[in-house]
Structure 1
Amino acid sequence: MTNVAAPYRRPVWDALAESTELTVLLLENQARFRRGGTNRGREWAEYDAPTYEVAELPTARVSRGESSYYTALRVGFLARYRPDAVLLAGWESPAYWQALIWCKLRGVRTVGFYESTLSTQRHRRGPIAATRRRFFKLLDRVVVPGIAARDAVLAMGVDATRIDVGFNAVDVEGIAERAQAARTVSPRSPDSAGHRFLYVGQLIARKNVRGLIEAFARIASPDDSLTIAGLGDQENALHTDAERLNVAQRIQFTGHIPYSEIAGLFARHNTLTLASTEEVWGLVANEALAAGLHVVISRTAGVAASVADMPGVHIVDTSVESLAGGMQASKDAWNGPISDPPILAMTPRSFATVFEQALRVSDRSISADGTKY
């Protein structure tokens, strides 16, 4: 069960469906998603799943800011699927509690997926934090995508032997292949000497794109450029910032880039910058590393702790000064796309294996490197 069919999650579902009879239950439906005025592209509501079933659960939705909360309109909605195990990809919505209670009453195995980190948890104490702790302690196991999320689950009081640690995965092999193909078809012109920075994501306050633009203005040489790909309510303010800082001619706003075209976008750039003040993970960093790019990542992002030792990674604070320093360091160190980046080992298949082990067994935990502890 999950809110929406995020494009980057589908390779993991494909891999899981190779060895299980998988049904993905979505709390959001296509029609409502398209009416919702979202910053996400249409591909988030257009899915084709020949290897597994996708079903939209009838729900009522209440939205607040970036968050949506769902309540299932049918009692016992899981009964028709007769599940051996249920993977719950959230906890905040009543629908997840409805599913958890149904499973507990019938002895069905439950596994939770938790991505947030201690730095992204908005409630560390009080009734909301207590409710979250209760939810995860009721689960049979919890899968987390990295060590930062593991630490957050441990802080809830969940025993380490019930936590399975994987590595948040995207289609790294496919992205690497498509990026290399794009570079082969359109190699960089010898006279385009400037460094090409890139941001991909929503144009909203917590992404700190305004700080990124100011950092770019501080370190950019005349031939350097910055591409900003995404949608959001800060777009007009970002254009204003670029004009005020006299870098508008070197910044390109592309709007939303379809997920199918993201590898080609990476192939045309050198360094991705993720400057978020709050970021549960930041899968775009996985994608950029798979494409051979350098990445400048704020240490508040969940991905930072898991990729800090990889080549081409520059971990920074969210201040303009620190961002500028990381971007300059990446620019100085750039010597072409990284060959055979370590992120290529973090495949959807390896992540799906962690989920499957959590869904099937109860006597082990899997560390980030695949060892038992």
Structure 2
Amino acid sequence: MSRPLPRIGWVTNLAAPYRRPIWESLARSADLHVFLLENRSRFERGRGNRASEWMSWDNAPVAVSEVPTVRLTAGERQLYLPRAVGRLPGKGFDALVLTGWESPAYWTAAARGRRWGARLIGFYESTLATHAFRRGPIASVRKRFLRGLDAVLAPGPAAKEALLSMGVDASKIFVGFNPVDVLGIHARAHQARASAAVGDRRANGHRYLYLGQLIERKNVAGLIEAFARLADGDSSLTIAGSGHLLESLCALCDQLGLRDRVAFVGPVPYERVPEVLAEHHTLVLPSTEEVWGLVVNEALAAGIHAVVTRSCGVAASVEGMRGVFLADPESASLASAMEASRRAWTGPVDQPEILVHTPEAFAQVVLDAVSARR
């Protein structure tokens, strides 16, 4: 008789499109049920810079439920208070994956899981550089929560370092590589390059791309200033995204005389990301603070270069890969890395190293954490 599949509850805020491949992979080896602390109707009323696809799970191969919650917002942070405790996972689950610690909903889910004997597994992405609270009561609460779990998933060495600094037992930490659908992106980018539509839009000069929110910590102003430093007058910069800094960034381009070389194209639907990447040579992620930076995974999967600041959690995991150029967030350092990328460009990378870091590989890390001996 075959053993029953482990029943896993995955508690998270949103149905982020880049998480679906992990869920799909887990669903082949586990009975997975995803619990969302956000709900569609509230999300659509105030989703900020997020597209509707961040709460789309139609035709998902796993069960998905919305948990009734009250949402409190402070800047980029959302805290969720459960309104119906019984809607959180509990009895009957072998393990719960908790993707946050700040919200009371995660503490409640942990208490329910502990009561019913579920293995509690955290998903912790933050790094020492992105810790907003290094000491004091909030830091103590975070440490207590993480230490009390049975296992913690660390998507990269920078997150593992942060966990160890808080006293989490090394034997509880399961390190993976924060994934996106690298093989799918690679195939779609290759297809896009082969199409006449992409070919017709190619211009002379090196094409740089920023893809993300237009908010302070993303340091898009620093990127524009770095672009202004480049001696190559044929290069161009595409800024794809939305946010409250749009007007000031346009004004900065006017001030620096760059409006004919910098294009603001608005947000890009997730399904079009591979095509947009394929139209460019170098992605730049200039953030002063970034827990990871999955757009770097996507860029490398598409075969283009990536300039990424050392402030990003992804930097430690992609350093040394072909086409990766690390920089500091200051404009001079960004400009130097961007110029190095331009000089090194000889065409798309055919088989980038990032292709081995699949959602399937990360799903196996999750299963290892689920099945590890208590």
Q: Which amino acid aligns with 2:233?
A: P
Q: Distance in 2 between matches of 1:9 and 1:278?
A: 21
Structure 1 residue 46, shift from structure 2 partner? 2.1
Structure 1 residue 50, shift from structure 2 partner? 3.4
Report the equivalent of 1:148: 158
Q: Distance in 2 between matches of 1:37 and 1:267?
A: 28
Structure 1 residue 262, shift from structure 2 partner? 0.4
Matching of residues 282-293 of structure 1 within 5 Å: 282-293=293-304
Report the equivalent of 2:4: none
Report the equivalent of 1:161: 171
Q: Which amino acid aligns with 2:331?
A: V
Q: Distance in 1 between matches of 2:114 and 2:202?
A: 64
Unaligned runs of 5+ in 2: 1-10
Q: Which amino acid aligns with 2:353?
A: P
Q: Distance in 1 between matches of 2:22 and 2:259?
A: 39
- 180, 192, 196: which one pairs with 2:203? 192
Secondary structure of the corresponding residue to residue 7 of structure 1: coil
Q: Distance in 1 between matches of 2:50 and 2:213?
A: 8
Q: Distance in 1 between matches of 2:46 and 2:187?
A: 34
Report the equivalent of 2:330: 319
- 45, 54, 57: which one pairs with 1:35? 45
Deviations 1:109-143 (A, max 9, x none): 11000000000001111101100000011100000
- 245, 248, 270: which one pairs with 1:234? 245
> What RMSD over aligned residues (CA atoms) do the two structures have, in Å?
1.4
Structure 1 residue 103, shift from structure 2 partner? 1.5
Report the equivalent of 2:80: 70
Residues 108 and 326 (structure 1 numbering): CA distance in 2 closer, same or farther, change over 3 Å?
same
- 16, 21, 25: which one pairs with 1:15? 25
Does the CA contact (< 8 Å) of 2:121 and 2:149 recur in 1?
yes
Q: Which amino acid aligns with 2:192?
A: A
- 353, 360, 368: which one pairs with 1:349? 360
Q: Distance in 1 between matches of 2:297 and 2:84?
A: 38
Matching of residues 156-305 of structure 1 within 5 Å: 156-186=166-196, 188=199, 192-219=203-230, 221-305=232-316
Q: Which amino acid aligns with 2:241?
A: G
Residues 234 and 81 (structure 1 numbering): CA distance in 2 closer, same or farther, change over 3 Å?
farther
The question of 1:94 aligning with 2:97 is answered: no
Q: Distance in 2 between matches of 1:190 and 1:20?
A: 45
Q: Distance in 2 between matches of 1:322 and 1:357?
A: 40
Structure 1 residue 75, shift from structure 2 partner? 2.6
Report the equivalent of 1:366: none
Report the equivalent of 1:2: 12
- 57, 66, 70: which one pairs with 1:56? 66
Structure 1 residue 81, shift from structure 2 partner? 6.2
Identity of aligned residues (%): 52
Does the CA contact (< 8 Å) of 2:72 and 2:78 recur in 1?
yes
Residues 53 and 77 (structure 1 numbering): CA distance in 2 closer, same or farther, change over 3 Å?
same
Report the equivalent of 1:85: 95
Residues 127 and 191 (structure 1 numbering): CA distance in 2 closer, same or farther, change over 3 Å?
closer
Q: Distance in 1 between matches of 2:343 and 2:320?
A: 18
Structure 1 residue 189, shift from structure 2 partner? 5.9
Secondary structure of the corresponding residue to residue 34 of structure 2: strand
Does the CA contact (< 8 Å) of 2:36 and 2:65 recur in 1?
yes
Does the CA contact (< 8 Å) of 2:240 and 2:267 recur in 1?
yes
Structure 1 residue 91, shift from structure 2 partner? 0.3
TM-score w.r.t. length of structure 2: 0.95
Secondary structure of the corresponding residue to residue 314 of structure 1: strand
Q: Which amino acid aligns with 2:317?
A: S
Q: Distance in 1 between matches of 2:125 and 2:365?
A: 14
Larger relative contact order (C-alpha < 8 A, sep ≥ 6)?
1
Q: Which amino acid aligns with 2:120?
A: T
> What stretches of structure 1 move > 2 A for 4+ residues in a row?
75-82, 186-193
Report the equivalent of 1:370: none
Deviations 1:271-313 (A, max 9, x none): 0000000000000000000000100000010000000010110
Q: Which amino acid aligns with 2:322?
A: P
Secondary structure of the corresponding residue to residue 119 of structure 1: helix
Unaligned runs of 5+ in 1: 364-373
Residues 18 and 247 (structure 1 numbering): CA distance in 2 closer, same or farther, change over 3 Å?
same
Q: Distance in 2 between matches of 1:66 and 1:41?
A: 15
